[in-house]
């Protein structure tokens, strides 16, 4: 049986931060980049007058549909489907974003059928051999079940003790070694 690989969408497959932070920077005259995101708590690194409103951008119509794929993500996922059971496991912030994520997959990953798309905020409950994610809570939850979690490396998840990569090519190259252990 082929190993089951679970892939997160936002900030792992799709470049969430460029568009999300561009909207915030435009509205608040800031120059926020992911390098300043040293915690999962987004309101803590934006201007005080924005605060929790930074999260409102995640509910704006069109945000998720406008995201570009991260470099090499589409090609690598295509190759991974040849040797692994690949599932996209994502946590939509709202019902409209759920629909946009489905459309995004149809546009950018047409070789994946929709039965390969799982929506949940409890990724630790999904059956899979390995999770590739960025969110600290998802990485920890998966690790606590005794399974493998790989972090897409960002400042806000560096305190998690797990394997990490900075690119899709690195993930592809190291995946066989992680699954053998």
**Residue 49 CA to chain centroid, in angstroms?**
27
Asked whether the beta carbons of 116 and 89 are under 8 A apart, the reply is no
Catalytic residue among 8, 124, 133, 134: 8
Q: CA 32, CA 26: separation in Å to the nearest integer?
A: 10
The verdict on whether 30 is a catalytic residue reads no
Asked whether the beta carbons of 16 and 67 are under 8 A apart, the reply is yes
Q: Which helix (H) or strand (E) holds 123?
A: none
DSSP 27: H
Catalytic residue among 10, 124, 133, 134: 10
The verdict on whether 10 is a catalytic residue reads yes
Active-site annotation, residues: 8, 10
């Amino acid at each position: 049986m082929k190993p089951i690989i679970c892939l997160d969408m936002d900030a792992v497959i799709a470049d969430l931060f460029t568009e999300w932070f561009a909207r915030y920077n435009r509205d608040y005259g800031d120059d926020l980049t992911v390098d300043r995101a040293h915690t999962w708590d987004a309101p803590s690194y934006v201007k005080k007058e924005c605060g929790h409103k930074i999260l409102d951008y995640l509910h704006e119509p069109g945000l998720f549909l406008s995201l570009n794929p991260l470099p090499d993500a589409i090609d690598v996922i295509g190759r991974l489907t040849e040797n692994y059971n690949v599932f996209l496991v994502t946590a939509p912030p709202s019902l409209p974003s759920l629909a946009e994520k489905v459309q995004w997959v149809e546009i950018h990953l047409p070789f994946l059928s929709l039965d390969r798309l799982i929506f949940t905020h409890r990724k630790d409950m999904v059956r899979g051999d390995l999770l590739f994610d960025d969110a600290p809570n998802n990485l920890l939850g998966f690790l606590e079940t005794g399974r493998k979690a790989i972090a897409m490396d960002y400042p806000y998840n560096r305190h998690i003790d797990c394997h990490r990569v900075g690119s899709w090519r690195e993930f592809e190259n190291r995946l066989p070694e992680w699954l053998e252990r």
